[in-house]
Amino acid sequence: MERIWLDFADHVWFQSGNVTTDLISAPRRVGLQNLGYGWRQIHSEDPARAAFEMDVAAARLFFFSADGDTTAIEIEISAVGRRRLKVTPLNLLLNGRPLTKLPLSRKWEQHRVEIPAPVIRRGNNRLDFQIAIPKKSQKSRHRLRPKIRNLRFFATNGRREWPERPTTLQVAGDPELSLDRDTIQMPSPARLEAVIEVPERARLTARFQVRRPPGAHLEPVLVYAKLLDPELEEHPLAQERVTESRSAFDFDVDLSAWQGQRVRLQLGAGGPGNAVVSWHWAIVEAQPGQTPPGSIAPIRRQPAPSSGRLGRPDVLVVLLDAARADSFSPFGGTRPTPHTARLASQGTVFQQAMAASSWTGQSIPSIFTGLYPDSLRVGPWGSPLPSNIATLAELLSGVGYRTVLWTQHPFYGYQEDLKRGFQEFHRPEFRDYRTLPSQEILISEQQPTFAFVHLIPPHAPYTPPPPHRGLYSSWYSGSIEPEATFLSRFPDKRSTEELTEEDRRFIRDRYDENVAFADAQVGALLSILDSSKRYEDSLVILMSDHGEAFLEHGRYLHSRMLFREFLHVPLVIKWPRGVSGYEAEVAEPMSLVDLVPTLEDGLALPAQQEGYQGRSLIPLVFDGAHRQEPLWATTRRVDTYQKPPRPLEMLQAGPWKILYDPLSDSSRIYQIENDPGESQDLSGELPMRTLYLRQALLRQRTYNRELLQQAPEPGPIEDSDAEIQKQLEALGYLN
């Protein structure tokens, strides 16, 4: 028999650790961030004093309501700090809707808050805590800091949501994600589900046992299995009402009536809330020789090959910040970019390269490590890299390369970990975009050089110097200036209706002038290699860290969304002399996390870690191989770090793409082959397809969060240099 283990589609990542009902014990495996955002755990060694303290003006916690019947919250709060309490209440919001304002006291006070029925959601819920802090007080150690403890949730009839029982839920869907692959422990009420394609003559078999804590009432627990067909019609499969806790029970259900269909299977438990249902197994079995139901496997960490096909040439990586692919002529751009075109004519053009995030702070760490941003747990500015993860510069310096980082971006002045492995660091004055690295910086006569050159253009502000300014926009007679601080206001603070068609065209024209300026800078860098007679023998890589939006989905700039215009970037690799047999163009989608494993493979670098989520492009380019894995991207949607992040996640698998908002628990799906502009959300028309993709996305998210067991926490943004903060604000990141 082929055994196909159920995947837990509604996996709630903040329940995967040891979360106690009074919220004084953070998850052991993934840290405090797993509970939410903006908290500092205090007095954890003393249960009588243990609590959470807000370390930002707005913090967040998550909780899970399996039946969506939570009716009330009880919470104890107090505050420390020197600010007056009477004028500063603590605002509570549930799923984005205001619940109440709670007065603060320097003593612990208990409050009960009733929850209106329309506000609660079945499954994932978020509870936001907000307090007004004057800007001048935000950096003070003495500002008001609310504390909470003993947070409890009550459901219908006064039943406690999380009484005396474990809250750890283990899933037997993947041995790498589960501590015990043979058991699914489910606290009641709860449910798990999987979307599968039913094979021939399939059966659902399961064995479970109900356990209760000592002294618990023996109220019956309803354990059930259900199936939702492609039209989402519900079909009860089996159920058992269990009172005593000694015996094991079995389900054995024939699924052949749904053969070949994509269905939604649910296993659940309902009852008094003091029981744990232990599923010894829950599997779908197919007859021998049948192909198991298709699924989208997670992008796992794998070692890179080591072909050494490229030798040990000089390596020049030129990164143009915020460069969207379709503004460059090799990628369909209608305006000339001759220097990019020259490079493309002598190497390989990757037509479907996608960034791992839509902003620099998460994309660059992935480019440097070959791992996705949420695997690294990088988010806010200053997020450190895990110490046991080698960067590309460390790998290259370890084999004798001279390593140089030359950047116009202030990002590296705050993100110190990204300098690891670079022997030289150069940065011109802020907004001095004409200056480029010299020949002495790019080339060494004594050893091969790896130079990573990060140029700001075409990033906003779209103010290129002459002769590029006015190249396409001289016709404009309006008054707007395309600065990042101006463009970031649309549509949150200003309506796009304020912009005329001429204004919109002007903004895009000025961006294309910035692209022309960036292309000229590329030409200047290539000329340095030409004049030193090193161009032919060098490996030259041209890329970007993310795209740029022009109201395709209602926004300018980047960072806030994961549509194609935010992620699709130019990628060109010019191979060193003597390397032949490569494809001139690769149409398959690939990710920028592929850079490190590609260089480890081509340069035969010794492996320094367990592997990468990126894949070497060498087999794709030289051997006609095909990429099998999906693509992943994530963003925290940067606004200000005094507020919780607004994350988005993206999974692209074959012709399908799903965008998932964890805060609203909502999904959008697109058939990107027929709809490359992602204009038609099909989630309403194809609910089962949506669930199937959502299941794969949640599984990938869980894999990423579990990949690295330990990761450092980022420091607050206000700890950075004041001048760097101003520079980041000018680039649109801290508005």
Q: For the residues 669-698, what does the mean pLDDT come to?
A: 93
C-alpha span between 374 and 379 (Å, rounded): 8
- Model confidence at 172: pLDDT above 50: no
Q: What confidence score (pLDDT) does residue 12 get?
A: 33
Is pLDDT at 478 greater than 80 in this prediction? yes
Tell me how far apart the 2 most distant CA atoms of the chain are, in Å: 85
Beta bridge partners, 603, equal none
- Residue 352's pLDDT band, with cuts at 50, 70 and 90, is very high
Centroid of chain to Cα 148: 28
Query: In this model, does residue 405 exceed pLDDT 60?
Result: yes
**Residue closest to 31 by CA, chosen among 43, 45, 14:** 14
Q: Taking 50 as the threshold, does the pLDDT of residue 26 lie above it?
A: no
Range scoring the smallest mean pLDDT among 180-194, 206-220, 532-546: 180-194
pLDDT of residue 720: 53
Q: What is the reported pLDDT for 123?
A: 72
Domains in the chain (CATH in brackets) are 2-10+168-286 (2.60.120.260), 17-158 (2.60.120.260), 315-436+539-577+585-730 (3.40.720.10)
Residue 721's pLDDT is what? 62
pLDDT band at residue 732 under the 50/70/90 scheme: low
Q: What is the pLDDT of residue 559?
A: 85
Confidence of residue 271 (pLDDT cuts 50, 70, 90): confident
Which of 150-154, 292-296, 379-383, 502-506 has maximum average pLDDT?
502-506
Structure tokens at 365: 């760490």
Q: How far apart are CA 476 and CA 709, in angstroms?
A: 55
Question: From CA 219, how far away is CA 243, in angstroms rounded?
Answer: 6
Could you tell me the pTM of the whole model?
0.87
Quote the CA–CA distance of 467 and 539 in Å, as a whole number: 30
Contact criterion met (CB below 8 Å) for 124 and 62: yes
Confidence band for 311, pLDDT divided at 50, 70 and 90: very high
Which tokens sit at 203?
């059966």
Confidence of residue 460 (pLDDT cuts 50, 70, 90): very high
**pLDDT-above-90 percentage for the chain:** 54
pLDDT at 284: 83
The 3 state secondary structure assigned to 638-707 is CCCCCCCCCCEEEEEECCEEEEEECCCCEEEEEECCCCCCCCCCCCCCCHHHHHHHHHHHHHHHHHHHHH
Going through 246-311 in order, the beta strands assigned E by DSSP cover: 248-254, 262-270, 276-286
| The pLDDT value given to residue 274 | 65
On the CB side of 122, CA atoms within 13 Å amount to 6
pLDDT bucket at 713, cuts 50 / 70 / 90 = low
CA torsion sign for 436, 539, 385, 36 is: positive
pLDDT of res. 80 = 87
Q: How confident is the model over 682-704, as a mean pLDDT? A: 88
Higher-pLDDT residue of 164 and 725 is 725
pLDDT at 699: 81
Tokens linked to 525: 């860098």
Predicted confidence band at 723 (pLDDT cuts at 50, 70, 90)? low
54-77: burial string, b at 16+ Cβ within 10 Å, e else: bebbbbbbbbbbbbebbbebebbb
pLDDT band, very low/low/confident/very high, at 25 (cuts 50, 70, 90): very low
Rounded mean pLDDT, 262-287: 79
Give the Cα separation of 257 and 262 in Å (integer): 12
- For residue 129, what pLDDT is reported? 93
| DSSP strands (E only) in 582-655 | 585-586, 590-591, 631-635, 648-653
Q: Which of 136-140, 271-275, 324-328 has the highest mean pLDDT?
A: 324-328
Q: For residue 288, is pLDDT > 70?
A: no
Section 28-34 average pLDDT: 45
Span 508-551, pLDDT tens digits: 999 999 999 999 999 999 999 999 999 999 999 999 999 999 99
Query: Which H or E element spans position 530?
Result: helix 501-531
Task: Please return the burial class of 136, using the count of CB atoms within 10 Å of its CB with bins 0-12, 13-18 and 19+.
Answer: exposed
pLDDT in tens, 100-124: 999 998 899 999 999 998 899 877 7
Q: What is the spatial distance between Cα 262 and Cα 695, in angstroms, rounded to a whole number?
A: 13
pLDDT of residue 654: 93
Specify the pLDDT at position 662: 84
| Strands (DSSP E) found in 28-82 | 36-37, 39-42, 51-54, 58-65, 70-80
All residues at 6 or more sequence positions from 215 whose CB lies less than 8 Å from its CB, including other chains: none
The model's pLDDT over 126-158, given as tens digits with 9 standing for 90+, comes to 899 998 766 555 454 557 889 988 888 887 766
What integer pLDDT is reported at residue 117 of this predicted model? 87
Whether 16 shows a pLDDT value over 50: the answer reads no
Closest-CA residue to 706 (of 426, 372, 432): 372
pLDDT, the chain, mean:
84
- Asked which of 50-59, 233-242, 653-662 is least confident by mean pLDDT, the reply is 50-59
How far apart CA 576 and CA 313 sit, in angstroms, is 7
Q: State the Cα–Cα distance between residues 528 and 144, nearest whole angstrom.
A: 56
Phi and psi, residue 150, nearest 5°: 50, 55
Residue 1 above 50 pLDDT? no
Q: Is 264 helix (H, G, I), strand (E, B) or coil?
A: strand
Is 70 exceeded by the pLDDT of residue 220?
A: yes
Q: What pLDDT digit, counting tens, does each position of 228-264 carry?
A: 999 889 999 999 999 877 789 999 999 999 998 999 8
The C-alpha atoms of residue 608 and residue 604 are separated, in whole angstroms, by 12
Higher-pLDDT residue of 388 and 173 is 388
Q: Output the pLDDT for position 709.
A: 64
C-alpha closest to that of 411 among 721, 649, 647: 721
